[in-house]
Structure 1
Amino acid sequence: MLTSGWKSVSMVDVHGKVTFTLWLCGCNLKCPFCHNWRIAEGLDCFPLDRKVLVEELESSSFLIDYFHVTGGEPLMQWRELGSLFAEVKLLEVPVSLNTNLTIVGPLEKLLKANLVDHIATDLKAPPKLYGLPERPAERLWNLFLRGLDVVSDYEIPLELRIPVAKGFNQWFYIEEGLRRLNTDFYVVLNPLVGKPLTNPRDEDWCSKHCWPEKEVKVLKTKLEELGVRVYLSDF
């Protein structure tokens, strides 16, 4: 497995939880607002020393709520990930997976094997936020919706993060995603701030779409009117 490292105690990767967080390399998306772009592009990565990781996880297990794996997109390395999760389960540590939900078959295999206890994902709306041409982006959006179906089918608790940007009609897609959910979930609104850091990268992108103060307030109100639990990440 290729990793960029891990943090034995983190309080920022799952809302309200303490995690042992592992970052895995590679991604199938090119999101223009990604701040983990070096990990997504496979830069500064190295083979995971699983023995060292598991020993450190065991030492930290009494402090944490989840062993949390993020990226990049962890399911790019799903076979090795499944083996690691099985080993972590022997420590009786709950597992949290941060995935973009577009690699659906491997996701379902891990859920069917009872290897994942919690999912975190970004609802990227509209699909052009994937940073890909229109047709591939629409196809990935449909895969994401299938991923939400799978999470609901297995009744996995879900942290649904919504990157909020200016200049897009996001609500149509947000409603479409919410209709797929039949599991315990909450929403974290993540306003897009700062310059975009990944390719295809255009610094003008941020001047058009970052710092969406009005949009955040509108989305929060709409979601709360639907009875959704909503949290707001820091600007």
Structure 2
Amino acid sequence: MYIGGNVISSVEFHGNMSLVIFMAGCPLRCKYCHNAELLEGGDETSPEDICKEIDDSADFIDAVVISGGEPLVQVDAVADIFKHVKEIGLKTKLDTSGIYPNRLEKLLEADLVDYISLDIKAPFYKYKKIVGSNMGPQVLDSMELINEYDVHLEVRTTFVPTLLTKKDIVRIADEVKADVYTIQQFRNKEVLDPDLAKVENPNPNELHKIAKSIKPYFNGVIKVKSAEFGEEIID
């Protein structure tokens, strides 16, 4: 397996200290990707070595988060790690783009995931324009699949001003079913498309207004995540 490193974090799984593992590899080429170094390559390791690191950290963590890249590129390694995590009594969280519903189903059927953060990058019909590939139907399948299981689901959208509009966010909110919908602030540093480095980061006040505008369309908790204020629940 190939990874881009790991960190200890108190913010990736709300209320839980977590070991976050960044898996390398992703078939998407989102223009605003801030982990471009993980799209290919990574450092080779084994699930056994990762499990040893988890054991070494087990006394001061509550959960293990597997992020990326797209973790389900290496679904067998993810399954091996999460099996071990469950065996030692810790919680599990998966960050995914949802483009591999069949692989995701294997993890869900085996009861290996407690929490999923699903990146929904655009209204489902608009995926090709935003990410260059018509993956919207697969992402929709993943969302519907997750909702069949007892798994906490957070949907996340990064609001990039030149790619998405307020109407796009409203449409997403109306189309998704989840426990939480988080609008993430676009950051113009370390983006895949150099042109986006010139795009101004959206102001948190603007994100708050967008978040409040979707309240009639989304039956769940709405959050805004920004560099200035971190993660905020919108009342």
CA distance in 1 between partners of 2:60 and 2:167 (Å)? 38
Deviation for aligned residue 1:96: 0.7
Helix, strand or coil at the partner of 1:11: strand
Helix, strand or coil at the partner of 2:12: coil
CA distance in 2 between partners of 1:170 and 1:48 (Å)? 42
Deviation for aligned residue 1:57: 1.2
CA distance in 1 between partners of 2:23 and 2:170 (Å)? 27
Partner of 1:233: 225
Deviations 1:180-206 (A, max 9, x none): 42x5x11222111224522xx23x334
Partner of 2:151: 156
Q: CA RMSD in A?
A: 2.3
Helix, strand or coil at the partner of 1:231: strand
Helix, strand or coil at the partner of 1:60: helix
Partner of 1:120: 117
CA distance in 2 between partners of 1:176 and 1:223 (Å)? 9
Asked if the contact 2:47/2:80 (under 8 Å) is kept, the reply is no
Asked if the contact 1:165/1:215 (under 8 Å) is kept, the reply is no
CA distance in 1 between partners of 2:138 and 2:173 (Å)? 11
1:112–1:102 Cα change, 3 Å: same
Deviation for aligned residue 1:101: 0.5
Letter in 2 for 1:169: T
Matches within 5 A, 1:1-235: 1-7=1-7, 9-42=8-41, 45-125=42-122, 126-128=126-128, 130-132=130-132, 136=133, 139-167=134-162, 168-169=164-165, 171-172=167-168, 175-176=171-172, 178-181=174-177, 183=178, 185-195=179-189, 197-198=191-192, 201-202=193-194, 204-208=195-199, 210-213=200-203, 215-225=206-216, 226-235=218-227
Deviation for aligned residue 1:121: 1.9
CA distance in 2 between partners of 1:196 and 1:72 (Å)? 14
Q: Which of the pair is proportionally richer in strand?
A: 2
Helix, strand or coil at the partner of 1:29: coil
Larger mean CA deviation between 168-177 and 73-82 belongs to 168-177
1:186–1:90 Cα change, 3 Å: same
Helix, strand or coil at the partner of 1:233: strand
Letter in 1 for 2:187: V
Asked if the contact 1:102/1:140 (under 8 Å) is kept, the reply is yes
CA distance in 2 between partners of 1:62 and 1:128 (Å)? 44
Higher relative contact order (CA 8 A, sep 6+): 1
Asked if the contact 2:34/2:189 (under 8 Å) is kept, the reply is no
